[in-house]
Structure 1
Amino acid sequence: MDAEEEITKGQAEVWEHMFAFVDSMALKCAVELGIPDIINSHGHPVTLSEIINSLQTTTSSSSSPNIDYLTRVMRLLVRKRILSSHFHQETSQTLYDLTPSSKWLLRDSKFNLSPVISFFLHPSILEPWQYLGKCVEENGLAFEKAHGCEIWDLAVANPQFNQVFNDGMGCTAKMIAGEMLTEYKDGFSGISSLVDVGGGKGAMIAAIVEANPHIKGINFDLPHVLATAQEHPGVTHVTGDMFVEIPEADAVIMKWIMHDWSDENCVKILKNCYKAISKTKNGKVIIVDCVLQPDGNGLFDETGLTFDLLMMVIPGGKERTEVEWNDLLKSAGFPRYNLIQIPTIHSIIEAFPE
């Protein structure tokens, strides 16, 4: 490639990055309209007319869907491999079908990422990104600059946002629980009681207890979170603050908790975890979180770097490399750990007090 071609390629890459948000909004549009579900309900590739007809029967709007708009959205979704398409010669129509990506967007699938999309692309989550440069320039938390409060305070004050937040986190909890029960099933064998710190509505601990009925499950979170939580067999909901005290148990599990917080706050949480398992001979803390590989080429390594910025912008936390995790654990009194890879963006870190 000569110098002129490199310059032109650079220009093309800038345009692509500049409008990457359009891909996100097209994805959100597909989720809001339920397009993957519409295709799936037919049981075969569908035409635009069939999608339009399904939209007309499910929407409460008095106006008809715009077929030109839909055509253009579908074209981009196909280009981005969210959907697939092929031209049917006999009918002279384009048929649309699901891909491995859009199968993760089906509402009735076992692991559905649609609630996560609704959360991370919610206007309240998108607005703080406008303050990223300002935060680099003058410090501070982007979410606070955008909303005048932290994300946890907004969840308390805004029930609708709280619902979107909890649905998104509950969705990831089910997905991670599924992976853990496959890849880490032996890790629960010697545990008789397990507290899920920041467990939300209890989806993950419920799945773990269902698969391991010998475990007494404790779902631990803030009062406003548990206010709408359903009861789960074998699980007790306990309200409290992880910075003050964590209920005693044989083991503590934390999914996507540590990355929300600074190193200083993480050490406080881990020390409270240490106290919670201190009366158990073989106690441990199970951390389900990202382990950054900044130079890695794995499926989720680039997403990990994206999540690191997300944590900086929204709650003010960070993702960590294995070296950083090691330093953090040692600071809190956990000299030994195991790192277990699972087929998602998360890893499992077993931390031991001795």
Structure 2
Amino acid sequence: MEEVDSMNDAEIMLQAQAEVYNYMFAFADSMAIKCAVELRIADIIHSSGHQILLSEIANNIESSSSPDINYLSRIMRLLVRRKIFTAATSKGGDTLYGLTPMSRWLLHDTEQSLAPMFLFQNNPILIAPWHYFSNCVKEGGIAFKKAHGCEIFEMASKDDELNKIFNNGMKSVTRCIMKTIVKRYKDGFNSITSLVDVGGGIGAAMTEIVKAYPHIKGINFDLPHVVSTAQKYDGVEHVGGDMFEAIPPADAVFMKWVMHDWGDEDCVKILKNCRKVIPEKTGKVIIVDAVLKSESEDLFDNIKFILDMVMIAHSSGGKERSEDEWNKLLKEAGFPRYNIIDIPSWPSIIEAYPQ
């Protein structure tokens, strides 16, 4: 019996060792996918309309010199194993590469593309703060500031390239999720005539809302350097300002991925400013953010906890919150009543009412 237990313990420890190695090199998957996105490999295969040879992929990569087939084949081998691409053997014995459902999300310039967000999250500037987690635990403070000497929004206001990839990344995720929100929150949008999107970036969310509900007068509200790059769209007014100072008045306030960027004290300030500008009896704040559920195992639950780590890395004290934490936060800000609407994505819709 002791020998059996010893064998079981050895197997358990061997399995644990393998899992530690997988975590140790988990970043390799992200870097390989980032490479494929930068080289537009999914787009090259998609444009062909069929499975293609490695040499065909290489011939269509934009480069000032001939691509290295050896490196490309090794990267593709891993990505096939990760089910980013498919590999099949032709009648002549050559390997043909094709798309999978995952690689279709990595196409550029499509309505449903996560490629810009993938490049943003894996940019060296955004990766650097992750190396400061232990410092944050020991000393407190903001990881991004420890890495770069300033906070992310301050850097973006001065760095046009960072501002561009930030906005493009957020726009790509917004497009994906807003289609679900616009469809699922039909009754919520039908009942309002004016809506201000606080922290709306370059207006991707508001544009989708107004397109689906043209009776709504939309106000896209963000920092001046952000809205200065926004494109014009009928029914949407771009307004620059500071949500900690004042927010334009409307029937309702829409906030997508804003609250999770900030700590509780800052969130209360923002929510109180929202409360000032909506009607007391009919107004509401529509929050689109994650609601953590420790016991749940839904499709997107794991990513919610990972996003909480992203908040440590990139935000100024922000975090993802459980329902109890949302309840406490909303009550402190003057919203005694709320309603959570789950949607098939990682955020939920949280309606907050002043009465």
Normalising by structure 1, we get a TM-score of: 0.96
Q: 1:25 aligns with which of 27, 31, 36?
A: 31
Aligned equivalent of 2:251: 250
List alignment gaps of at least 5 residues for structure 1.
none
Q: 1:79 aligns with which of 71, 78, 81?
A: 81
Which amino acid in the other structure matches residue 92 of structure 1? G
Q: Does 1:229 align with 2:235?
A: no
Kindly state the Cα deviation for residue 60 of structure 1 after the two structures are TM-superposed: 4.1
Kindly state the Cα deviation for residue 295 of structure 1 after the two structures are TM-superposed: 3.0
Aligned equivalent of 2:200: 199
Kindly state the Cα deviation for residue 280 of structure 1 after the two structures are TM-superposed: 5.6
SS at match of 2:195: strand
Aligned equivalent of 1:37: 43
Aligned equivalent of 2:290: 290
Q: Does 1:325 align with 2:326?
A: yes
Q: 1:64 aligns with which of 44, 62, 66?
A: 66
Kindly state the Cα deviation for residue 109 of structure 1 after the two structures are TM-superposed: 2.4
CA contact (8 A) 1:250 1:280 kept: no
CA contact (8 A) 1:143 1:150 kept: yes
CA contact (8 A) 1:197 1:221 kept: yes
Deviations 1:89-134 (A, max 9, x none): x110111111111111112322110010111111110001111111
Tell me, in whole angstroms, the C-alpha distance in 2 between the residues paired with 1:101 and 1:169: 19
Aligned equivalent of 2:114: 113
Tell me, in whole angstroms, the C-alpha distance in 1 between the residues paired with 2:280 and 2:38: 47
SS at match of 2:52: coil
SS at match of 2:351: strand
Aligned equivalent of 1:312: 312
Tell me, in whole angstroms, the C-alpha distance in 2 between the residues paired with 1:319 and 1:23: 25
Kindly state the Cα deviation for residue 84 of structure 1 after the two structures are TM-superposed: 1.5
* % identical equivalent positions: 57
Tell me, in whole angstroms, the C-alpha distance in 2 between the residues paired with 1:135 and 1:181: 38
Tell me, in whole angstroms, the C-alpha distance in 2 between the residues paired with 1:60 and 1:276: 53
CA contact (8 A) 2:280 2:354 kept: no
SS at match of 1:101: helix
List alignment gaps of at least 5 residues for structure 2.
1-6
CA contact (8 A) 1:294 1:305 kept: no
Tell me, in whole angstroms, the C-alpha distance in 2 between the residues paired with 1:276 and 1:31: 43
Instruction: Report the aligned-residue RMSD.
Output: 1.1
Tell me, in whole angstroms, the C-alpha distance in 2 between the residues paired with 1:60 and 1:33: 9
Tell me, in whole angstroms, the C-alpha distance in 1 between the residues paired with 2:75 and 2:226: 36
CA contact (8 A) 2:291 2:323 kept: yes
Which amino acid in the other structure matches residue 259 of structure 1? H
Aligned equivalent of 1:169: 170
Aligned equivalent of 1:14: 20
Aligned equivalent of 1:156: 157
Runs of 4+ in 1 over 6 A off after TM superposition: none
